[in-house]
């Protein structure tokens, strides 16, 4: 956490920075550091990336993450499953990756569980690189048209489009 916070003075962009934290990080500590007066941080969003195909198994894990405690001679043990749940609960956006192997009832259950844990979070399915073989274009500037949005999809080498790949403007 301290290392990530030390990079804040280097961020000169008004838009801020996206900082990735390891899965064993306690999200409440992250929020606490962002809310601390004088920290120089403004926490705008917590994005939790969830491996949908392994979420249920991750929640059944029985191992612990060991963290240094306030006193150097002591250690804190936190259940890894608890950290997974807390990451989802405190997220403002949850992105599900690796959801393609799940059948519809399994995906529905995972999405329902995520929604139950964090009912106010935006839930997104990440589509990954399933459009292999298609040309890639940089994202358009909002309010403008691009070859992708004008045709309603990503142009492929065959001249067809991929349904559902429209870019919001």
Residue 66 in 3-state DSSP? Answer: strand
Residue labelled with tokens 């150097």: 72
Count how many domains the chain has.
2
Strand ranges in the chain using DSSP code E only, listed in sequence order: 47-51, 64-68, 75-79, 93-97, 122-125
Listed as own residue / partner, the contacts of 75-79 with beta carbons closer than 8 Å and 24 or more positions apart are 78/26
Same domain, 26 and 64: yes
Same domain, 117 and 149: no
Instruction: Please state at what angle helix 104-117 crosses helix 80-89, rounded to 10 degrees.
Output: 80
| Exposure letters 42-68 (e unless 16+ CB within 10 A, then b) | eeeebebbbebbebeeeeeeeebbeee
Q: Is residue 24 part of a domain?
A: yes
Residue 88 structural domain? 20-128
163 touches 153 (CB < 8 A): yes
Q: What pLDDT is stored for residue 145 in this prediction?
A: 40
Query: What token pair was written down for 20?
Result: 């990735």
Same domain, 72 and 155: no
Q: In whole angstroms, what is the distance from residue 116 CA to residue 129 CA?
A: 28
Q: Is residue 3 part of a domain?
A: no
What is the pLDDT tens value at each position of the chain, 169 positions in all?
A: 566 666 666 666 666 667 777 777 788 888 887 777 877 777 788 899 999 999 999 999 999 888 766 666 667 788 999 999 999 999 999 999 999 999 999 999 999 999 999 999 999 999 976 544 333 444 444 444 433 333 333 333 333 333 333 333 3
Q: Is residue 75 part of a domain?
A: yes
Q: Is residue 9 part of a domain?
A: no
Same domain, 124 and 137: no
Q: Is residue 4 part of a domain?
A: no
Q: What pLDDT is stored for residue 32 in this prediction?
A: 83
């Amino acid at each position: 956490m301290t290392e990530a916070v030390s990079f804040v003075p280097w961020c000169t962009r008004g838009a801020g920075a996206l900082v990735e934290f390891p899965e064993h990080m306690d999200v409440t500590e992250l929020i606490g550091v962002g809310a601390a007066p004088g920290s120089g941080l403004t926490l705008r969003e917590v994005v939790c990336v969830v491996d949908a195909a392994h979420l249920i198994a991750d929640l059944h894990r029985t191992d612990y993450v060991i963290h240094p405690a306030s006193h150097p001679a002591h250690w804190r043990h936190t259940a890894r499953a608890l950290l997974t749940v807390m990451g989802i609960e405190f997220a403002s956006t949850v992105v599900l990756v690796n959801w393609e192997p799940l059948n519809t009832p399994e995906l529905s259950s995972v999405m329902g569980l995520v929604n139950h844990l964090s009912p106010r979070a935006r839930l997104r399915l990440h589509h990954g690189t399933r459009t292999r073989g298609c040309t890639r274009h940089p994202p358009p500037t909002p309010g403008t048209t691009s070859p992708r949005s004008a045709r309603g999809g990503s142009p492929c080498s065959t001249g067809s489009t991929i349904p559902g790949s429209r870019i919001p403007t």
